[in-house]
Amino acid sequence: MSTLSNMRQRYLSDPAFKMFKKVLPPLSETEREAMEAGSVWWDGELFGGSPNWNTLLNYPKPQLTDEEQTFIDTKLETLLAMLDDYKIVQEDRDLPPEVWEYLRKEKFLSLIIGKEYGGMDFSALANSTIVTRIATRSLSAAVCVMVPNSLGPGELLGHYGTQEQKDYWLPRLANGEDIPCFALTGPEAGSDAGGIPDQGVVCYGEYQGEEVLGIKLNWDKRYITLAPVATVLGLAFKLQDPDGLIGDKSDLGITCALIPTSHPGVEVGQRHDPLNMAFMNGPTRGKDVFIPIEWIIGGKEYAGRGWRMLVECLSAGRGISLPALGTAVGHMTARTTGAYAYVRKQFGMSIGNFEGVAQAMGRIGGFTYMLEASRTLTTTSLDQGEKPGIITAIAKYHMTEMARTILNDSMDIHAGRAIQLGPKNYLGHHYFGMPVAITVEGANILTRNLMIFGQGATRCHPYVLAEMEAAANPDVQEGSKAFDTLLSKHISFAVGNVAKSLLNAFSGSRFNRAPVSGETAPYYRHLSRMSRALAVASDFAMLSLGGELKRRELVSARLGDVLSHLYLASATLKRFEDEGRQQTDLPMVHYALQHCLHQCGVAFDEIFANFPRKGVGRLLRTLLFPIGIHYKAPKDEITVSIAKLLMKPGAHRDRLTHLCYIGNKTGDPIAIMERAFIALQEVKPLDAKLTQAVKAGDIPRKATLAEKLVLAKEQGLLKDAEVEQMENADELRRIAISVDDFNPERFSSLTLEPGKAA
């Protein structure tokens, strides 16, 4: 056995080891830290080719604590009733003072700070739920709550701060005495955060009348949310120590510090105008600003460790904030579009009955179900203590993209009703704000092309990261030995996946196991096949392209699409089981799963057709889909059935849109549409009587509703109370489909002062 092992190493592993070292893509320090940060969760199962579905189903069901639910039922509802998004965005361009005070007092800005410091210490699920519900009412308000509870001073201090820093800052952040912001992005470095030019130099300087060891800082940042109103600034910069005052390394790297905005030289207060949204966003600058060395988050021992800190926190925060905004769009558009499509009539019938409209409504319903499923599964991972960087990147990218798609669908269906801004318009500001979610915390175009598979290929693969570490081992003999063991396992893994892929192709995935029976069982089997195909395609891509794969962004993006849709489908299946297999939800479940499988098929087809090594592309097609890719987009009957469900009140509609804030004030925009929808549903039997009378010729077809009601009353078809009920319902309908208009003087008074470039 030892002889065989030696021969394998000599003739197979060692040559492969040498080749691997040559083709190994060069990694910068920031790339390495990003790759090593965080953790692997369900994404590792999907990447491995044989996902254990029982593992997925055994993850805890999403469940709020009693304290969290009480906060949501009371304090959150009070906040939502205080918000008037039209006034916030179009008139005040800011939250009202009483709302800011309420956010501080009731600790909306300290949801993630520990109780020992006066914060709420809520779960990721609660944080996400609160932001989602606020965002259905006002995106601007949601962002103001979201940012302090995401990547920023509170989270960084909680994980890395010295005890002295925690004891001073966290109580002040918890009670709202201080408002935080975090400055990372600048004019010369956006998504390439590792390339920030902002500099700090370790030196001695004066602070409070004494000469102390510190840092002289110069920075120029932009797009910083809450910067105009922040009292404490978290700052990321590159730290240099040319005189060796804190160590023997001169270029220490990215470092994070906490600076009061009242500190001499700190510039804040100017505002950007992010697509007319009202949340506070602006630049911050500083020139030759001296701070004590103790202001580094974590103290001077954490000098140069900022990038790792940021990536680890972003691995978690990215899965909460922006996915919550995306989910909010789903809840809000599904509820309002279903109502509007029923209330609005053309050619004598509700527009939702037209198949073209129904197609878009089906997409809204199916995507909304998938959005909520992904939100809860992702927060489940975070509440288990994981920091799954790949999963949160998937959630951020796909959930904001799905939100963009269904928001466009909703705008199309509402048509002119959504175009005219005013207090009645519940879609317009979300439409303005959607690009904000798309572009921040890693622009979507970057996330898809570089992050999901680019990092997932090494992070989630069962062997590649370990093989890379073996190849990078400075002890060549030890590295070669470790590589030999790993390569043997890797080859066995790859051969097994190829064989099983061929079996799946010719058996229609029938031999794959499903953990449940019923209508969803086939989906588990097909998703296992796609997982296996991804494992094979990934191995071939890394083997044939080597370091070139890093630059082949389109290949990487499509492989990432497969992984992403496997995750989204997994979340859908998990939600269906967690909620007790609700049969009325099956159309949405079928839509989501068929969409995911179809997208996997599309991605594979494009990978094979465009693979840089044409022969490899043809070989992969032959091995994985020898008789073709037969996964189709959701069927029309499913789409139409979802549209009907959205236009029908009931538990299914409430379950799908349970986080949408409706309100109960006369002028609440969604409440206006909801009242009309419910009223028209309640008079359906009466409307049917009128329709029957028209068909019988007892009432003229071309008569107005008022004329029809008079005749129906005279003929004894309807009672006085029934006529009044129909008149009231029609008045609510008329109000719901109307739009706002304004005095022309209002427009002449709206001016915007130009500012300097940032």
* Structure tokens, 550: 């890093």
Residues 6+ apart with CB under 8 A from 203: 213, 214, 215, 216, 243, 245, 290
* Alpha-carbon separation of residue 632 from 329, 533, 593, 635 (angstroms): 26, 17, 11, 8
Confidence class for position 5, pLDDT limits 50, 70, 90: low
CATH number attached to the domain at 317-442: 1.20.140.10
Q: Which of 441, 467, 707, 722 is catalytic?
A: 441
- Residue 665 tokens read as 């004030």
pLDDT confidence of 30, banded at 50, 70, 90?
A: low
pLDDT of residue 35 exceeding 50: yes
- Tell the burial category of 556 from Cβ atoms under 10 Å away from its Cβ (0-12, 13-18, 19+): buried
C-alpha span between 736 and 739 (Å, rounded) = 8
The DSSP bridge pattern shows strands 210-225 and 281-292 to be antiparallel
Which pLDDT tens digit goes with each residue over 9-27? 666 677 766 766 665 655 5
Residue 471 has pLDDT above 80, yes or no: no
Q: 180-306 falls under which CATH superfamily? A: Butyryl-CoA Dehydrogenase, subunit A, domain 2 (2.40.110.10)
- pLDDT the model gives residue 321: 93
pLDDT of residue 749: 61
Contacts of 143 (CB under 8 A, 6+ apart): 225, 277, 279, 325, 436
186 token code pair: 């600048």
Residue 534 CA to residue 529 CA, distance in Å, equals 9
Question: 3-class secondary structure for 614-654?
Answer: HHHHHHHHHHHCCCCCCCCCCCHHHHHHHHHHHCCCCHHHH
Mean local confidence (pLDDT), 664-686: 97
182 vs 155: CA distance, rounded Å: 11
Can you tell me the distance from the alpha carbon of 105 to that of 118, in angstroms, rounded to the nearest whole number?
A: 11
Q: How far apart are CA 710 and CA 687, in angstroms?
A: 14
Confidence of residue 2 (pLDDT cuts 50, 70, 90): low
Please classify residue 703 by burial: count the beta carbons closer than 10 Å to its beta carbon, then call 0-12 exposed, 13-18 middle and 19+ buried. middle
Report residue 441 as tokens.
């915390």
Q: What is the mean pLDDT of residues 272-296?
A: 97
* pLDDT tens-digit map of 552-604: 999 999 999 999 999 999 999 999 999 999 999 999 999 999 999 999 999 99
**Taking all residues of the chain, what is their mean pLDDT, rounded to a whole number?**
92
Stronger pLDDT, 484 or 19, i.e. the higher one: 484
**Given a cut of 90, is residue 547 above it in pLDDT?**
no
pLDDT digits (tens, 9 = 90+) for 399-442: 999 999 999 999 999 999 999 999 999 999 999 999 999 998 77
* Confidence (pLDDT) at 477: 79
**408: which residues sit within 8 A by CB, 6+ positions away?**
none
Average the pLDDT over 212-219 and give the result. Answer: 98
Contact status, residue 517 vs residue 587, Cβ threshold 8 Å: no
Give mean pLDDT, residues 79-89. Answer: 98
Separation between Cα atoms, residue 583 and residue 143, nearest integer Å? 35
| CA 335 to the chain's CA centroid | 20
> Which range scores top for mean pLDDT: 311-320, 444-453, 463-472?
444-453
CATH class, domain 66-174, is mainly alpha
Torsion angle in degrees (nearest 10) through CA of 142, 144, 148, 151:
70
- In the predicted model, is pLDDT for residue 110 greater than 50? yes
Q: 0.75 cut: is pTM over it? A: yes
Q: How confident is the model at residue 1 (pLDDT cuts 50, 70, 90)?
A: very low
Least confident of 6-15, 256-265, 354-363, 385-394: 6-15
Task: Summarize pLDDT for 365-387 with one digit per residue, the tens.
Answer: 999 999 999 999 999 999 999 98
Instruction: Take residue 508 and report the two structure tokens written for it.
Output: 């229609």
**What mean pLDDT comes out for the span 187-204?**
85
Q: Is 441 a catalytic residue?
A: yes
Provide the pLDDT for residue 475: 78
321: left (phi over 0), alpha (psi -120 to 50) or beta: alpha
Q: How far is CA 303 from CA 216, 255, 306, 443, 529, in A?
A: 14, 5, 7, 28, 47
- The DSSP code sequence of 15-38 is HHHHHHHHHSPP--HHHHHHHHSS
Alpha-carbon gap, residue 183 to 200, rounded angstroms: 14
